[in-house]
Structure 1
């Protein structure tokens, strides 16, 4: 697959990932954190704010292509 096409597909995937992830994370927060203390909100949003990086790293590694020797 050409590098430009791989990067285009990867960019679209990352945008979709961020949008869907933010929607799901906020929906879960609204449904479960209504009466939680402030530190519960802090921990939840700290964790979910960092957790999206893992699937994004996989997509970015795929975009870079195989290692060249």
Structure 2
């Protein structure tokens, strides 16, 4: 069994900070985005919520937490 490392708690903290900042940023844009057609809003929130926040940065963060390598 592997010895626990500092990467996992640091990674969890970084994920929580990133989520908080991302939510604040999207909430600040809600006034502008709220005036868009609902299909454009749907597209924006799908891209902002899934592709940019979870798939791209979190994948690398989780890999780093497990292995210590970004790639």
TM-score (norm 1): 0.78
Write the distance in 2 (CA, Å) between the matches of 1:25 and 1:3.
35
Answer yes or no: is the 8 Å Cα contact 1:3–1:65 preserved in 2.
no
Q: Which residue of 1 aligns with 2:16?
A: 15
Give aligned pairs, total: 65
Write the distance in 1 (CA, Å) between the matches of 2:22 and 2:37.
23
Q: Higher RCO, 1 or 2 (CA under 8 Å, sep at least 6)?
A: 1
Q: Residue 20 of structure 1 aligns to a residue in which SS?
A: helix
RMSD (CA atoms): 1.8
Cα drift, residue 31 of structure 1: 4.0
Structure 2 stretches lacking a partner, 5+ long = none
Cα drift, residue 62 of structure 1: 0.7
Please list, as runs of the form range in 1=range in 2, the aligned pairs for 1:32-51 lying within 5 A after superposition: 32-50=32-50, 51=52
Answer yes or no: is the 8 Å Cα contact 2:8–2:65 preserved in 1.
yes
**Deviation beyond 3 Å, 4+ runs, structure 1:** none
TM-score (norm 2): 0.76
